[in-house]
Amino acid sequence: MPRSPLPPGDHRLIQIVDAELARTVQKSGPHLACRVGCTQCCIGVFEITQLDAARLRHGLAELERTDPARAARVRQRVADAIQRLTPNFPGDVTTGLLSDDEDALAAFQDYGNDEPCPALDPTTGACDLYAHRPMTCRIFGPPVRTEEGIGVCELCFVGASEAEISACEMQRDPERLEDALIVEAEKQSGLHGETLIAFALHS
């Protein structure tokens, strides 16, 4: 995958999202089950943007400087994941881009559902690239509004009322920075579309 630099605005985006997450965590209190060792959101593949991909590669490069042994373990898990994911990959295995045609979208529903994220340390249950994790990972758990309504992790807000859940809604990108940064990341990488974490980190 291309080693494109991170768009400079990504730092601002992450600051905003992390501040919003901290606010939501405080409001949610014991309703949030998210803790180190809970890997509910770490099993099963999901789409990430080219901005997420660039951030992950930046994080792995940083980890290789600060903790080469840990980075090597991530690299090995990436290689293992690629071997498992390649045969039925619903896209272009050379670029790592997922296809967006109807057949590929249908195939993706049952693809890699039991695949652990290669950034997940299976011993500790912690993310080795936590500070550089994709946007989906940053907002998983708290109530987040989608086209279908407010979604929340099945392990969180158990027994909470709709009013309690709505009161803790997290604003994903209140300043609407992400879309423009994704376009910039795609221009820098030359890749347009979504990929998977394993393919983003594969080299």
DSSP string, 13-43: HHHHHHHHHHHHHHHHGGG----TT--GGGB
DSSP character string of the chain: ---PPPPTTHHHHHHHHHHHHHHHHHHHGGG----TT--GGGBS---B-HHHHHHHHHHHHHHHHH-HHHHHHHHHHHHHHHHHHSTT-SEETTTTEEP-SHHHHHHHTTSSTTPBPTTEETTTTEETTGGG--HHHHHSSS-EEETTEEE--TTSSTT--HHHHHHT-B-S-TT--HHHHHHHHHHHHS--S-B-HHHHH--
Q: Is 72 part of a structural domain of the chain?
A: yes
- For the cut 80, the answer to whether the pLDDT of residue 200 exceeds it is yes
Domain that holds residue 177: 10-201
Q: Is 4 part of a structural domain of the chain?
A: no
pLDDT of residue 191: 95
Number of domains in the chain: 1
Q: Is 2 part of a structural domain of the chain?
A: no
Q: Is 173 part of a structural domain of the chain?
A: yes
Token couple for 38:
């809970």
Mean pLDDT of 6-14: 94
pLDDT of residue 7: 93
Q: What is the pLDDT of residues 117-168, one digit of tens each?
A: 999 999 999 999 999 999 999 988 889 987 778 888 888 999 999 999 999 9
- For the cut 80, the answer to whether the pLDDT of residue 11 exceeds it is yes
Which position has the higher pLDDT, 82 or 149?
A: 82
Distance from C-alpha of 179 to C-alpha of 42, rounded to nearest angstrom: 24
- For the cut 80, the answer to whether the pLDDT of residue 27 exceeds it is yes
Mean pLDDT of 156-183: 92
- For the cut 90, the answer to whether the pLDDT of residue 174 exceeds it is no
Distance from C-alpha of 22 to C-alpha of 13, rounded to nearest angstrom: 14
Q: Is 111 part of a structural domain of the chain?
A: yes
8 HSE (CA, 13 A, CB side): 0
Q: Is 135 part of a structural domain of the chain?
A: yes
Model confidence at 4, pLDDT cuts 50, 70, 90, reads low
* Residue 67 CB neighbours (<10 A): 13
